[in-house]
C-alpha cells in the first residue's frame, strides 16, 4: 500500500477562478500526472469552452469588486448570492431537488458540450480524476469518464450546486472538509458510501508530515509572540507543551510579531490593507510590528499597497518590516505565501478557503465575508475557536493589542491547531490509492 501511495498518479483538474479551487489542488500537485490542469486555461482548449469559462470568471470578479459600490453594488451582489445561496441546515430535510445553478451547468455540459474536449482527452488514460470544483466533476460524469471521479469541497458548507442533478445515480466521490459538509451532502441526496470526511488539503511545507515537525516548531515561536504576558500559556501550559512535544518555551521567538493581511482572489478588500498601514503605522515605526500585505497575483493591488505605504510615511520600511507578497504566477504565489505563513503570527483575511488554515495554528482575524459560503466559513471558524471577527478598523491598534496582551489570539492559534483537521492531503491520497488498488484487482 505504501508503495502504491508513493507511486500514485491522478488527473488533477482545477479552475483558474479566484484562489480557492487552485489552493485546494496545490498540496496534491506531487501526485498530478501532468501537473495541475486548469479546465478553463489548458492547451488547445476549444474557443467555445474558453468563452464559457471566461465569461463566468469575469462576471464573478466584476460582481466581487462591484459590491463596493454604495447601495447598487450590494443589491446586485445580493442577487448573485441568492442564486448560490446555501439553505438553512435546520430543520433537517430532503434537499436533493437540483438547484437552478446545477441545472444550468448540466445543460451547458450536455447541450453545448462544455468540457467534453477536456474529458475526452483525459479519458485516453483513465486515471483517478480529482477536482476541487463542482462543474468539472459534473463534466466528467456527464461525459462518461471511465475512471473514478473525486470532488474536493472547498468550504465549510456548500450549496446544492456541488451535487449532480441525480445524486443517487451519480458516481462522484466527495472529500468533505468537516462534519457539516458530510451531513449537507447527505441532505442533497449523496449516499454515505460516496462521502469521506478528510479535512481540507493543506501544504506539507507548513506541516512537516509525518510528525508535524514544521507546524510544531512554528507554533511554539508564534505563541511566544501572541502571549507576551503568558496569560493563556501559563493557564494551559501542560496541554500545550505536550501537544507541541517540547519541555519548555523558547526564551524568545525566532521572528518579530508579524501580521499578514491577504486580499481575496478578485482583489477585494484591498482598502483594509491600506487601513492597516494607516492605523498600525506607529507600531510599525516603533519596531513593535511587522506587516505582510498579500496582493496575490494582482499587480494593481501591489501598486495600491506601495502607494499606501508611501502615503502613510512607511516607504522606508518596504522590504523590511512592511512586505508586499506578489507573484504573477499562482503556483509561485502559493509557494511564497506558504513560506510567509511560517513566520506569520496573525492572519487577517475574509473567511475564504483560508479559514481552514487555522489548522496550521494560525489565529484568523475575520474580515467581512463576501457571499453565502463565506458566512458559513465564518460561523465554522468562530465555532471552532480559531477565528475572531474584526472590530472597527479605525481602532485596530487598541483591540488588536488588547487581544495580544490578554492572550486571546494565542488561544485562537492553539484552538485552530488542536481542533481543526490537519490531515486533509494525506487522507485524500490514501483513499484514492486504496480505491485504485481495489479497482486494479
pLDDT tens-place values along the chain, 441 residues long: 566 677 899 999 999 988 999 999 999 999 999 999 999 999 999 999 998 888 776 656 655 555 555 655 554 445 444 456 898 999 999 999 999 889 999 999 999 999 999 999 999 999 999 999 999 999 999 999 999 999 999 999 999 999 999 999 999 999 999 999 999 999 999 999 999 999 999 999 999 988 899 999 999 999 999 999 999 999 999 999 999 999 999 999 999 999 999 998 767 799 999 999 999 999 999 999 999 999 999 999 999 999 999 999 999 999 999 999 999 999 999 999 999 999 999 999 999 999 999 999 999 999 999 888 999 999 999 999 999 999 999 999 999 999 999 999 999 999 999 999 999 999 999 999 999 766 665
Domain co-membership, 194 together with 212: no
Q: Which domain range does residue 302 map to? A: 204-419
Same domain, 194 and 305: no
* 271 plus 397 within the same structural domain: yes
Say if residue 221 is in the same domain as residue 356.
Answer: yes
CATH of the domain at 366: 3.40.50.2000
- Mark whether 310 and 174 lie in a shared domain: no
Q: Are 149 and 267 within one domain?
A: no
Q: How many domains does the chain have?
A: 2
The residue whose grid cell reads 480505491 is: 435
| Rounded-to-integer distance, Cα 140 and Cα 253, Å | 49
> How many C-beta atoms lie closer than 10 Å to residue 339's C-beta?
14
Three cell numbers at 37? 490542469
Are 197 and 239 within one domain? no
Residues 336 and 357 in one domain: yes
Q: Strands, E, within 315-363: which ranges?
A: 322-326, 346-349
Q: Grid coordinates representing 161?
A: 450546486
3-state secondary structure of 420: coil
Q: Are 305 and 275 in contact (CB under 8 A)?
A: no
CA–CA dist 44, 9 (Å, integer): 23
CA-wise closest residue to 139 among 165, 171, 105: 105
Q: Are residues 308 and 240 in the same domain?
A: yes
pTM here? 0.93
Q: Are 186 and 169 in contact (CB under 8 A)?
A: no
Q: Note whether 264 and 298 are within 8 A (CB).
A: no
In the structure grid, which three cell numbers stand for residue 52, read together?
A: 464559457
Contacts of 7 (CB under 8 A, 6+ apart): none
111, 116, 120, 121: CA torsion to nearest 10: 160
Amino acid at each position: 500500500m505504501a508503495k502504491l501511495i508513493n507511486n500514485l498518479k491522478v488527473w488533477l483538474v482545477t479552475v483558474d477562478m479566484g484562489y480557492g479551487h487552485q489552493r485546494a489542488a496545490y498540496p496534491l500537485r506531487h501526485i498530478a500526472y501532468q501537473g495541475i490542469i486548469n479546465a478553463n486555461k489548458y492547451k488547445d482548449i476549444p474557443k467555445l469552452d474558453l468563452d464559457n469559462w471566461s465569461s463566468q470568471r469575469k462576471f464573478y470578479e466584476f460582481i466581487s469588486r462591484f459590491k463596493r459600490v454604495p447601495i447598487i453594488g450590494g443589491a446586485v451582489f445580493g442577487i448573485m448570492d441568492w442564486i448560490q445561496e446555501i439553505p438553512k441546515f435546520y430543520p433537517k430535510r430532503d434537499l436533493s431537488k437540483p438547484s437552478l445553478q446545477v441545472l444550468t451547468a448540466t445543460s451547458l455540459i450536455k447541450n453545448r458540450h462544455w468540457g467534453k474536449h477536456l474529458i475526452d482527452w483525459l479519458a485516453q488514460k483513465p486515471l483517478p480524476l480529482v477536482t476541487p470544483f463542482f462543474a468539472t466533476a459534473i463534466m466528467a460524469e456527464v461525459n462518461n469518464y471511465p475512471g473514478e471521479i473525486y470532488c474536493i469541497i472547498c468550504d465549510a458548507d456548500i450549496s446544492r450546486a456541488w451535487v449532480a442533478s441525480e445524486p443517487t445515480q451519480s458516481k462522484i466521490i466527495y472529500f468533505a472538509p468537516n462534519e457539516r459538509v458530510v451531513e449537507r451532502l447527505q441532505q442533497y441526496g449523496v449516499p454515505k458510501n460516496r462521502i469521506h470526511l478528510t479535512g481540507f488539503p493543506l501544504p506539507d511545507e507548513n506541516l512537516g508530515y509525518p510528525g508535524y515537525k514544521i507546524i510544531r516548531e512554528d507554533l511554539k515561536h508564534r505563541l511566544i509572540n501572541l502571549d507576551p504576558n503568558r496569560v493563556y500559556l501559563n493557564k494551559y501550559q501542560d496541554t500545550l507543551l505536550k501537544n507541541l512535544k517540547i519541555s519548555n518555551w523558547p526564551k524568545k521567538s525566532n521572528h518579530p510579531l508579524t501580521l499578514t493581511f491577504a486580499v481575496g482572489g478578485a482583489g477585494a478588500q484591498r482598502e483594509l490593507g491600506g487601513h492597516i498601514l494607516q492605523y498600525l503605522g506607529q507600531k510599525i515605526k516603533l519596531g513593535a510590528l511587522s506587516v505582510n500585505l498579500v496582493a496575490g497575483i494582482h499587480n494593481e493591488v501591489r501598486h495600491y499597497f506601495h502607494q499606501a505605504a508611501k502615503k502613510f510615511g512607511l516607504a522606508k520600511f518596504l522590504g523590511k518590516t512592511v512586505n508586499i507578497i506578489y507573484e504573477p504566477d499562482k503556483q509561485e504565489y502559493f509557494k511564497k505565501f506558504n513560506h510567509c505563513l511560517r513566520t506569520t503570527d496573525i492572519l487577517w483575511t475574509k473567511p475564504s478557503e483560508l479559514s481552514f488554515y487555522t489548522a496550521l495554528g494560525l489565529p484568523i482575524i475575520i474580515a467581512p465575508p463576501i457571499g453565502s459560503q463565506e458566512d458559513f466559513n465564518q460561523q465554522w471558524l468562530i465555532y471552532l475557536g480559531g477565528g475572531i471577527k474584526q472590530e472597527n478598523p479605525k481602532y485596530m491598534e487598541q483591540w488588536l493589542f488588547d487581544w495580544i496582551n490578554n492572550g486571546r489570539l494565542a488561544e485562537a492559534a492553539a484552538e485552530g491547531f488542536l481542533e481543526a483537521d490537519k490531515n486533509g492531503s494525506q487522507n485524500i491520497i490514501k483513499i484514492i490509492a486504496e480505491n485504485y488498488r481495489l479497482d486494479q484487482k
